Amino acid sequence: MHILVESVRSLLGIELSKEIIAALRVYETELLEWNERISLTAIRDAEGVRVKHFLDSLTVLKAWERALPPERLVDVGTGAGFPGLVLKLIWPATQVTLVESVGKKADFCRHMVDRLGLDQVTVITERAEEVGQDPAHRHAYDLAVARAVARMPILMEYLLPLVRRSGKAMAMKGESAPAETHSANQAMHILGGKLHKLVHVQLPGVVEERFIVVVDKVAQTPAEYPRRTGMPSKNPLA
């Protein structure tokens, strides 16, 4: 866990409390144990979990420029809880919604919420298109995040309908981020978003460059978006 603590200090300028470190140890143990029975993540070693899951999740702090944490956060396609559950440990007062359509992954997230004693965390086993049209979630979040879920034009249709005006959407992407972002400019405009910036992230020991694409929500998303399940990926906005 030392490399994680040092990396968080050097990359993000924050200190992880003993309580957060203890919670991450429990998270790591549970993830590795569950991963032996069901496939939650391709990363199966402790060091990989610490850097490519925990630290990578925490890099969202590098892109969140506001003094106060978001009041409400939604993580779309969270998988085994990244980045949403890790951010909940750092932002304990934030209401967090985890969206995961794969039942076994959603079950693991619920298990971790109970295991870590977290409150104000909701896990939804639905598709992003369904959640985006649900009045309880539409235009309801200060921050919507997703990590390696889909190409940018598709991802914007998943995320931006969930974000309130003046909120932000963040897409955590690999080295293709600049080209993908350029291809998504029209989708952002249609959906009420505007590119704010790309934040470069270099994880220790990881060769591939990473970026967080930060999009401001500047207008309400038209009622017809997101389209019905499957349409954003079959016919991405261009």
Task: Tell me what pLDDT residue 238 has.
Answer: 81
Residue 237 DSSP code: -
First-to-last C-alpha distance (Å) of the chain: 43
- Give the Å distances, CA to CA, from 43 to 52, 53, 187: 8, 9, 32
From first to last of the 238 residues of the chain, give the pLDDT tens digit.
Answer: 888 999 999 989 999 999 999 999 999 999 999 998 988 888 888 888 999 999 999 999 999 999 899 999 999 999 999 999 999 999 999 999 999 999 999 999 999 999 999 999 999 999 999 999 999 999 999 999 999 778 999 999 999 999 999 999 999 999 999 999 999 999 999 999 999 999 999 999 888 899 999 999 999 999 999 999 999 999 999 8
Task: Tell me what pLDDT residue 100 has.
Answer: 97
Does a structural domain hold residue 4? no
Does a structural domain hold residue 35? no
Does a structural domain hold residue 157? yes
> What does the block give as tokens for 173?
């992407």
Which residues are within 8 A (CB) of 220 and not within 5 positions of it... i.e. 6 or more apart? Answer: 139, 165, 192
CA gap 21, 38 in Å, rounded: 25
- Give the Å distances, CA to CA, from 73 to 50, 146, 207: 22, 11, 29
Q: With left for phi above 0 and alpha for psi between -120 and 50, is residue 209 left, alpha or beta?
A: beta
Does a structural domain hold residue 141? yes
Task: Tell me what pLDDT residue 46 has.
Answer: 87
* CATH number, domain containing residue 203: 3.40.50.150
- Put simply, whether the predicted model's pTM sits higher than 0.85 gets the answer yes
Does a structural domain hold residue 41? no
How many structural domains is the chain composed of? 1
Q: With left for phi above 0 and alpha for psi between -120 and 50, is residue 129 left, alpha or beta?
A: alpha
Q: With left for phi above 0 and alpha for psi between -120 and 50, is residue 194 left, alpha or beta?
A: beta
Task: Tell me what pLDDT residue 47 has.
Answer: 87
Q: Domain range for residue 114? A: 66-234
Does a structural domain hold residue 40? no
> What does the block give as tokens for 62?
């590098």
Does a structural domain hold residue 50? no
Does a structural domain hold residue 39? no
